Structure 1
């Protein structure tokens, strides 16, 4: 499979108003799947009301040029998310990448295709020079996704992010886009 070829039944599009119901449902459906990899979430996180506010905030940050949030859809369902965040301009032209796919789609190349699409957006739409991503040390599947997309390991950041209630070490990767 071409690393950028999403399955025919899955589409990538910008996050938009009206996504909050499908987004809340996706997070509820994938709660156990995502908990080991995500920050600790309050019960409010799984509500439509929270996502109603968050979708609007993310759209505003996209319009301000600091993020680029997208969703993967299959029919009316959201089956994954990604965002290019912390977009820095000037001499840096760099940003960070985060992503996840629905548990039902893991191991099928969907995450690899999603990251490939995000690399293309970072390079072709946002004109970035560099994209960075980090994974927990034991998240070998995500490390493989990044490596398949030309990311190179650049080191380990100790106690990098507060994930699942603990400050955890991360392997950092980068891809030079120019």
Structure 2
């Protein structure tokens, strides 16, 4: 996170609402490669650089003073709107770091948000491919163009999916229009951007074949919950297990999560078999846990930790080598 308290009085880089044109006038020295950090697809100022609004300038005397009174669209109004400055207070020449810190936080907010977005890209993820039953299996981010394939598979496999899917007052067909996919896509992208979810599509031989979503990500506890469904014509070929292994490798080895859980309806034998093969352990039964298929049902809680995943990976590697 950018620290406004670390001030270099002779090197200022104001961040002015995303307008890079203001940077030139306030840079008193070039920003070298070592003064930049990279996060995701963006490049940001290193923490030793201070983010100041354009109404401040260096007078060369080692002190900061306002260059001109703030206008109606100036810093004072921005601070009032954001709650960093109380009404009735004025923008006095700063005699301490309080105003500088507040202004730095205000103007660096979009960049701090991107830097601290908890490591999860909101799009463009692709894991794999790996081979299972002579099929190339991959996981990727969902696309708007998946609407037709998603609708076709979900309507065709209604009798297999709906008994274990969260209940809704809407009919299954109304829940699976192309417009419904657009709504789901936008919601998934929002959750991913907030670092709360990792939505993924199962792709087999380059075509949409199901979904494998990680939700309820808790970065403090380093935990998450997963759910999966797959094209019924591809079951029994190890494809869902291959996808599960791709996801586990990513969330444990790359994202650094420590624990992943999966609530599985006690009647869902196919899902129970999958979580067992994936190395998860049953921790107990949650009575009347979710309303699925039109009524509340008991669900078993299955879980795998990063330690369990590492042990399973080692066993799989040894068995492959032998």
Q: TM-score, normalised on structure 1?
A: 0.89
The structure showing larger relative contact order (alpha-carbon pairs under 8 Å, at least 6 residues apart) is: 1
Match among 49, 68, 81 for residue 198 of structure 2: 68
Asked whether the equivalents of residues 40 and 165 of structure 1 are also in contact (C-alpha less than 8 Å), the reply is yes
Aligned length: 174
RMSD of Structure 2 on Structure 1 (CA): 1.8
What are the residue-to-residue correspondences of 1:153-168 with 2, within 5 Å? 153-168=282-297
- CA offset digits 1:56-77 (Å, max 9, x no partner): 1101211111000111123564
Q: Structure 1 residue 5: deviation in Å?
A: 4.6
CA change 1:48–1:75 in 2 (3 A) is farther
Asked whether the equivalents of residues 259 and 305 of structure 2 are also in contact (C-alpha less than 8 Å), the reply is yes
Structure 2 gap segments, 5+ residues each: 1-129, 308-322
CA change 1:74–1:5 in 2 (3 A) is closer
Mean Cα deviation higher: 127-136 or 116-125: 116-125
| Alpha-carbon distance between aligned partners in 2 of 1:60 and 1:36, rounded to the nearest angstrom | 28
| Alpha-carbon distance between aligned partners in 2 of 1:111 and 1:74, rounded to the nearest angstrom | 10
Structure 1 gap segments, 5+ residues each: none
Task: Pick the structure with greater CA Rg.
Answer: 2
Asked whether the equivalents of residues 135 and 204 of structure 2 are also in contact (C-alpha less than 8 Å), the reply is no
Q: Which structure has more strand as a fraction of its residues?
A: 1
SS at match of 2:275: helix
Q: TM-score, normalised on structure 2?
A: 0.51
Q: Structure 1 residue 50: deviation in Å?
A: 0.8
Match among 24, 35, 43 for residue 162 of structure 2: 35
What are the residue-to-residue correspondences of 1:11-26 with 2, within 5 Å? 11-26=138-153
Does residue 109 (structure 1) correspond to residue 238 (structure 2)? The answer is yes
What is residue 120 of structure 1 aligned with on the other side?
249
